[in-house]
């Protein structure tokens, strides 16, 4: 059972976790803000998509999202990132859950798991696809192939929801927007002219339609 009485308590703990040391720009390494990661996990808990499940955090970075899911009752976490240095930070951040976390250094595009699709939930804040166009959709396609339930954070741009929905539909999934929140990131990379970036993100739940075959 979770020790967190409120979403806010969890957000505070997540916000205190360690950030990337030297973020890699091309990998779009931004730590997911505590409030956003906490909301994603809370929504999953309320919908019964978390308790007892294996959470697969794709592009886990610092492990903030996996932490939130484990704290609210996920059975185990598989954290995948292509940057092994980021996994070192995730290891530190997830020390409270030692023995329940697998860290996997891999490119998600080539990832396969042997975990039954009903026993897992993907939780992710993929690259927004600004540096490498389409990276977010690439992550989504992988996620939809891994588990029957996916919780994901996407940069909100008008029409983006349509594209995500149609991708989901082609995989036999239904997409439900859960919340739209402001995300603030501090200037980390040289090309940023402004010190603070603020944009909207959409939290989305994808579930496999039971009527679909396969």
String of contacts with ligand SAH for each residue 107-146, x by CB under 6 A: xxx---------------x-x-------------------
Q: Residues 7, 184, 146, 23: is their CA dihedral positive or negative?
A: negative
End-to-end CA distance of the chain: 33
- Which CB sits closer to ligand SAH, 61 or 208? 61
Residue span binding ligand SAH (CB under 6 A) among the ranges 103-111, 174-182, 193-201, 205-213: 103-111
String of contacts with ligand SAH for each residue 150-169, x by CB under 6 A: --------------------
Closest approach, Cβ 106 to ligand SAH, in A, equals 7
> Do residues 44 and 69 make contact, with C-beta atoms less than 8 angstroms apart?
yes
- Which CB sits closer to ligand SAH, 31 or 208? 31
Q: How many CB atoms lie within 10 A of CB 121?
A: 25
Based on the shown chain and the rule CB under 6 A, indicate whether residue 30 belongs to the binding site for ligand SAH.
yes
Question: Torsion over CA of 149, 151, 154 and 158, rounded to 10 degrees?
Answer: 60
Based on the shown chain and the rule CB under 6 A, indicate whether residue 29 belongs to the binding site for ligand SAH.
yes
> Do residues 209 and 165 make contact, with C-beta atoms less than 8 angstroms apart?
no
String of contacts with ligand SAH for each residue 70-99, x by CB under 6 A: ----------xxxx--x-------------
Burial class (CB in 10 A: 0-12, 13-18, 19+), 129: middle
Based on the shown chain and the rule CB under 6 A, indicate whether residue 64 belongs to the binding site for ligand SAH.
yes
3-state class (DSSP) for residue 177: strand
Closest approach, Cβ 98 to ligand SAH, in A, equals 19
Element (H, E) at 14: helix 7-15
Which residues sit at the interface with ligand SAH, rule CB under 6 A? Answer: 27-32, 59-62, 64-65, 80-83, 86, 107-109, 125, 127
């Amino acid at each position: 059972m979770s020790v967190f009485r409120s979403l806010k308590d969890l957000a505070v703990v997540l916000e205190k976790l360690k950030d990337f040391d030297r973020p890699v720009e091309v990998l779009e390494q931004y730590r997911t803000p505590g409030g956003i990661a906490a909301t994603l996990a809370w929504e999953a808990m309320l919908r019964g998509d978390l308790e007892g499940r294996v959470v697969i955090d794709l592009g886990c970075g610092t492990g903030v999202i996996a932490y939130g899911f484990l704290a609210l009752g996920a059975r185990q976490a598989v954290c995948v990132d292509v940057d092994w240095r980021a996994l070192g930070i995730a290891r530190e951040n997830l020390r409270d859950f030692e023995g329940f976390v697998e860290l996997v250094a891999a490119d998600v595009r080539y990832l396969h798991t042997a975990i039954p699709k009903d026993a897992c939930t993907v939780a992710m804040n993929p690259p927004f696809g600004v540096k490498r166009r389409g990276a977010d959709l690439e992550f989504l396609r992988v996620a939809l192939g891994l588990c029957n339930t996916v919780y994901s954070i996407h940069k909100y741009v008008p029409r983006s929801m349509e594209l995500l929905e149609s991708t989901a539909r082609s995989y036999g999934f239904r997409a439900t927007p859960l919340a739209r929140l402001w995300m603030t990131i501090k200037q980390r990379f040289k090309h940023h002219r402004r010190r603070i970036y603020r944009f909207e993100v959409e939290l989305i739940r994808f579930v496999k339609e039971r009527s679909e075959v396969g």
